[in-house]
Amino acid sequence: MKYFLSLVITAVLSTSLFSQSGVCGQFHRKYCVFEDSKGGGNWQYNAQSKSGLFNQGMVSKLRCVIYKGMDYRISVCCETILGEKVAYKIYDGRTNELLFDNKSAEDVQTFEFQSVSTRQLVIEVMVPQGATEKDKHKSTDAACVGLLIEHKITDKQGF
């Protein structure tokens, strides 16, 4: 009987954890704007893209590697109950130097840049406290946030 009870508890916990991670697991693929689908260039999906369930006031960091000779586009998207603006910062992974802060760039949700060297970045995503809007069908405590990373080979310039 103990074996059966522990098996049931394990199954319930596993299902609960799986459904929580599955709620937002591919949010960035579905809701963040993937520009290449609109004929906007040779942008490719980068497998370092992620989505997750965020609570109000939550901060999460993602390490990613960028390569020399590539252009990158980073887009942040979220469920509308969080509002439309999620804050994010990009740091150098080795020196912790702040490279970009969307708050100082009028809260842009998309940032494009060219990499002149291969290095590691840390992308910090912050959901503001009290940012949710009332929605009778969803909890205002948490919502999905997506971080879409796209890349392409830098275009040749000059002769």
User: Does pTM surpass 0.85?
Assistant: no
Asked, for residue 57, whether it belongs to a domain, the answer is yes
Report the domain count for the chain: 1
Asked, for residue 20, whether it belongs to a domain, the answer is no
| The residue to which tokens 């497998």 are assigned | 47
Asked, for residue 33, whether it belongs to a domain, the answer is yes
In this structure, what CATH number is given to the domain that contains residue 30? 2.60.120.380
Asked, for residue 68, whether it belongs to a domain, the answer is yes
Listed as ranges, residues in the chain with pLDDT below 50 are 4-21, 37, 131, 135-137
Asked, for residue 91, whether it belongs to a domain, the answer is yes
Asked, for residue 107, whether it belongs to a domain, the answer is yes
Asked, for residue 129, whether it belongs to a domain, the answer is yes
Phi, psi for 156 (deg, rounded to 5): -70, 140
Phi, psi for 158 (deg, rounded to 5): 80, -160
Asked, for residue 124, whether it belongs to a domain, the answer is yes
The pLDDT value given to residue 20:
44
Domain that holds residue 49: 25-153
Determine the 3-state secondary structure of 98 from DSSP: strand
Side-by-side strand order, sheet with 87-92: 59-66, 119-126, 87-92, 98-101
The pLDDT value given to residue 143:
83
Contact of 115 with 68, CB cutoff 8 Å: yes
Tell me the Ramachandran region of residue 147: left when phi exceeds 0, alpha when psi lies from -120 to 50, beta otherwise. Answer: beta
The pLDDT value given to residue 104:
92
